[in-house]
Structure 1
Amino acid sequence: MKPTILVSWLDMDRLDRLLDALPAAQARARDALLDELGRARLAEPWEMPPDVVTMNSRLRFSFEASEQPVTMTLTYPKDMNGGAGQLSILTPVGTALLGLKVGDTMSWERPDGGLFEVTVHAIEYQPEREGVYHR
């Protein structure tokens, strides 16, 4: 059983619009994100706890098979610019991270059917914590 996640209503609205616009070729990513959002509790953006992964958060996380954490920004596809530090919400890892808190670990199915586990270690930047709601 996957845990309930916390998502701001503003991120939920933006993600709903993203999902409505996705082409049929991205059905797998759409379905995975829909499943994730189906477990979400909604919060006001200005009441979002500072330790929760939101859209455009820069976070440090690791995979169970790696001892080395990585730092990336959870990004909407339209904002991807090819930078190494970006992680699309439409990737399995990006979808798994949304709404988790620092210290949470989540198991997720890779596209090849195997499982991976990801752990959130820190949130270096969260737009809501900084009062940035229109991004």
Structure 2
Amino acid sequence: MYEMADKVFPMTAEGKEKLENELNELKTVKRQQVIERIKIARGFGDLSENSEYESAKDEQSQVETRISQIEEMLHYAQVIDSSKIDPDEVSIGKDVTFLEDGEDDPETYTIVGSAESDPAAGKISNDSPIAKALLGKKKGDKVSIETPGGSFEVTITAVK
């Protein structure tokens, strides 16, 4: 999911703020809760057979891994200001609406950096096949999108 080798994480200002808030929550609240759970579990005795202790240590590992991931993303964040891009051009931070050939219902997605994608909320990663095909295109363009499930043609009807 995260391409650390690239060392660039494009994202919206909103996405960066969300990551900063998550990092703060993990460092100031979640980390302290896990430390407290470990202290309590140690009091239960033999650590080799203590499932509470093992669970707390696993959670601690997950929290620390997520903190490292977020710190890396924020360090190499590239905030995209979509207001400086042609208003009709598809870019990170913009909503794009398109109509698939042969369909009656348009689809709308917000293109965001991979760190903030949430397909269920209509936010697709700039690394997704759909976004890759649409980036740089303009309202009215006909675009061929190649996905693992096959290819299809769409016409961009709006960019906001």
TM-score normalised to the size of structure 1? 0.53
Q: What code does the residue aligned with 1:68 have?
A: D
Q: 1:102 to 1:86 in 2, by over 3 A?
A: same
Deviation string 1:21-41 (CA, Å, 9 cap, x unpaired) is xxxxxxxxxxxxxxxxxxxxx
Indicate if the aligned counterparts of 2:129 and 2:147 stay in contact, CA closer than 8 A. yes
Partners of 2:108 and 2:143 lie apart in 1 by 17
CA change 1:16–1:117 in 2 (3 A) is farther
Q: Secondary structure at the match of 2:8?
A: helix
> In 2 relative to 1, CA 52–16 (structure 1 residues): closer, same or farther, beyond 3 Å?
farther
Equivalent runs, 1:54-69 vs 2, <5 Å: 54-69=91-106
The list of structure 1 runs, each at least 4 consecutive aligned residues, that deviate by more than 3 angstroms after superposition, is none
In structure 2, list runs of 5 or more residues that go unmatched: 1-5, 11-81
Gaps of 5+ in 1: 1-14, 20-44, 125-135
Q: Which residue of the partner structure matches residue 156 of structure 2?
A: 120
Distance (Å, rounded) in 2 between the aligned partners of 1:100 and 1:58: 13
After superposition, where does 1:44-55 map in structure 2 within 5 Å?
48-55=85-92
The reply to whether residue 78 of structure 1 matches residue 115 of structure 2 is yes
CA 1:46–1:84: 2 relative to 1, 3 Å: closer
Q: Distance in 1 between matches of 2:146 and 2:97?
A: 20
Aligned positions, number: 85
Q: Name the one with the larger strand percent.
A: 1
Of 95, 98, 104, which residue of structure 1 is paired with 2:132?
95
* Contact persistence 2:130–2:146 (CA under 8 A): no
Partner of 1:31: none
What SS does the aligned partner of 1:53 have?
coil
1:17 aligns with 2:53: no
Question: Which structure has the higher relative contact order (CA within 8 Å, separation 6+)?
Answer: 1
Q: CA RMSD in A?
A: 2.7
Q: Give, in whole Å, the separation in 2 of the partners of 1:117 and 1:79.
A: 26
Taking the aligned partners of 2:127 and 2:84, their CA distance within structure 1 comes to 25
